[in-house]
Structure formats: structure tokens, C-alpha cells
Amino acid sequence: MVARRRAQLTLYHLPKQAMDLFERRCYRAGYRTIAGIDEAGRGPLAGPVVAAAVIFPRGWMSQEITDSKRLSPQRREELYREVLSSARSVGIGVVDQAEIDRTNILQATLKAMEIAVLQLSPPPDHLLVDGLNGIPIHIPQRLIKRGDSLSISIAAASIVAKVTRDRIMMEHHERYPHYNFAKHKGYGTREHLEAIRRFGCCELHRMTFRGVKARIDPI
């Protein structure tokens, strides 16, 4: 019984994995330029999917940067500016709803990630990718499930992608205020579904997505 209690206490006090663990492993393996990649907007019913790629200077660290979903909109904006001012390079890829419908959301997401990586200068020699699907590009890469909670570079990319996409949807709100994209950013909220029912779909909607494809023809 005593041994069991001691084991439980030891496990309870294990330190949290450092957010730069994967980056440090890459450096130890001989890589010099590591990019973290993540996306925003796989699930919404409208608007593009956006990916970001971020390269930090070796050894750079912040205790504040984490998965964008854990941050308030105001804090994301603040950390977005910190990432842009601290990173060696940032790339952004945007694939619109028309291409999402022509292919599928997975292929559109991987294309957005590829675009983001190709914008980086200097080019990375290793990629840390959030998720379980590799990018179709000839660069060594490691796929990390829930990587936005485990890698500083991926977490930074998640912030850049989320803020960029939210700003795009805010701009679309000006053109289509009756959908209230400024509030839900295209996700399938009750308000958004009701707006589709009332006003039909617009050119921003993903017609192959459940909740949209069975609705009224585009206006």
C-alpha cells in the first residue's frame, strides 16, 4: 500500500512536457530550420481553410503560446503579433470553399499547408505537422497528434492560422451581414443554420458539407 501511494505521488508530480521538446529533438538530429504547421477552418460550413507555418530562432521559447483554441480572441491577437515579431519566417496558405468542394476538406487542408511551407524563407529542412496526415512535399516531417498543445512552433502556427481566418470571415461579414459571420466565423451554429434556412446559401458556403448541401440553391 505504501509503495502504491509513493508511485501515485511520483506520477502526480511529473513535470509537464516542455513545449520545445520536439524542436530540440530535431536540432539534436542535425536539422537546422524547423517549421511548425497547423490549420484553422476544417469544420465550418462557410469560408476557406487556412494554414500557417512558423519558424522560430533556435532556442526561442514563450510560456504564453499554446493551442489557439485555449485562448481568448484578444489574447490570440496579442500573441499573433508576438509570433510575427519573433519568428524567423511565417507562411500562410488559404484554400477557398470552391476548391474544398471540388476536392475535399482533407486535400484542401494539405494544399493550404503546402502553400504555407513554400512561402517560408529560409526554407525549412524539417516539418512538425499537427495531425495524422503528411503534407505532399519533399521535406522530412513528423506528424504530431494534438501538436498544437505539444510543440511551440505548431502552437504558434495555430494562432496565426486562426487569427488570419477570423479576419477573413470578418471581412466577409461586411458583404453578407445577414449570416453574422463576424460572430460564428462560418461554423455550424444554430444561428448560422437558421440564417441558411432563411436566406439560402451564398458563394462562401461549402455546398458538399452537411447542413449546407441539402439547403436552398446559392443566392
Q: What is the pTM of this model?
A: 0.89
What's the pLDDT score for residue 211?
82
Short-list 139, 106, 84, 87, CA closest to 39: 106
Query: Is 3 a residue whose pLDDT tops 50?
Result: no
**Integer Cα distance of 94 and 116 in angstroms:** 8
Q: Map grid coordinates 487542408 to a residue.
A: 109
Going by pLDDT thresholds of 50, 70 and 90, the confidence category of residue 14 is very low
Kindly report the number of other CB atoms within 10 A of residue 78's CB atom. 14
Short-list 111, 157, 152, CA closest to 135: 111
Going by pLDDT thresholds of 50, 70 and 90, the confidence category of residue 89 is very high
| 105-114, 158-167, 172-181, 210-219: least confident range | 210-219
| Arch. (CATH architecture) of 10-168 | 2-Layer Sandwich (3.30)
What's the pLDDT score for residue 5?
36
**∠ Cα 215 98 107 (to 5°):** 110
What's the pLDDT score for residue 216?
55
Strand ranges of the sheet holding 89-95, from the earlier edge strand across to the other edge: 89-95, 49-55, 34-40, 126-130, 141-144
Percentage above 90 pLDDT, the chain: 84
